[in-house]
Amino acid sequence: MATRTSFGRDLIAGQWAAAEFAVLSRLWRAGAAVPYPVQLDGTELMMEFIGDHDDGNGVAAPRLAELRTDRRQASELYDQLREALLALAEAGYAHGDLSAYNVLVHRERLVLIDLPQAIDLVGNPQGFDYLQRDCRNICSWFTARGVAADDEALAAELLRTLPRAQ
């Protein structure tokens, strides 16, 4: 890997894909709003397509960052986001790279994506820092749209739902 051979690159890509597949599988089983992981084939992870595919042409759902929402819609999406993050925390995870770019919204349903670097909150010594950063990033988007999204309160709520015995 260190010499950056194509073998090494494939190995890293394969581990990245395998990590995301494992996290998605676990979170999907826990009922979190993430794409259904279909299969892992070497460096390729196939997952549920979030979007419309009526006539064979897929149109991916917009990212949260691209949405024009009024305050009521933003508030409903924030409730869904909280639910999704609670499900992650119950399973022992923080997203690790949460922002309005890694959240899709399909027909008013919010789905978290881009989870290869999800953080094991209990095992990672920096877990709490990642959790706080996630909450700060995403709450700033909602706050700018008139939702009372308190990142510190959210982080505290998520910490309270962590699994206790591992």
- For residue 119, the SS3 value is strand
> Does residue 35 bind ligand ATP (CB under 6 A)?
yes
The single residue among 49, 76, 120, 161 that binds ligand ATP, judged by CB under 6 A, is: 49
Two structure tokens written together for 59: 């149109």
In the complex with ligand ATP, which residue's Cβ is closer, 74 or 95?
95
Kindly indicate which of the ranges 44-52, 67-75, 87-95, 126-134 contains the residues binding ligand ATP, using the contact rule CB under 6 A.
44-52
Which residue shows structure tokens 């993430």?
A: 34
Among Mg ion, ligand ATP, none, residue 51 binds (CB under 5-8 Å by kind):
ligand ATP
Among ligand ATP, Mg ion, none, residue 63 binds (CB under 5-8 Å by kind):
ligand ATP
Identify whether 134 is a catalytic site residue. no
Residue of 54, 114, 129, 151 with catalytic role = 114
- Residue 66's CB is within 10 A of a number of other CB atoms, namely 11
Give min distance, CB of 101 to Mg ion, in A: 5
Give min distance, CB of 47 to ligand ATP, in A: 5
**Residue 65 DSSP label:** G
Two structure tokens written together for 90: 């119950």
**H-helix or E-strand spanning residue 23:** helix 6-29
The answer to whether 122 and 92 are in contact (CB under 8 A) is yes
Which residue shows structure tokens 């399973």?
A: 91
- For residue 134, the SS3 value is helix
Binding pattern to Mg ion, positions 68-107, x when CB under 5 A? ----------------------------------x-----
Task: Return the active site residues.
Answer: 97, 114
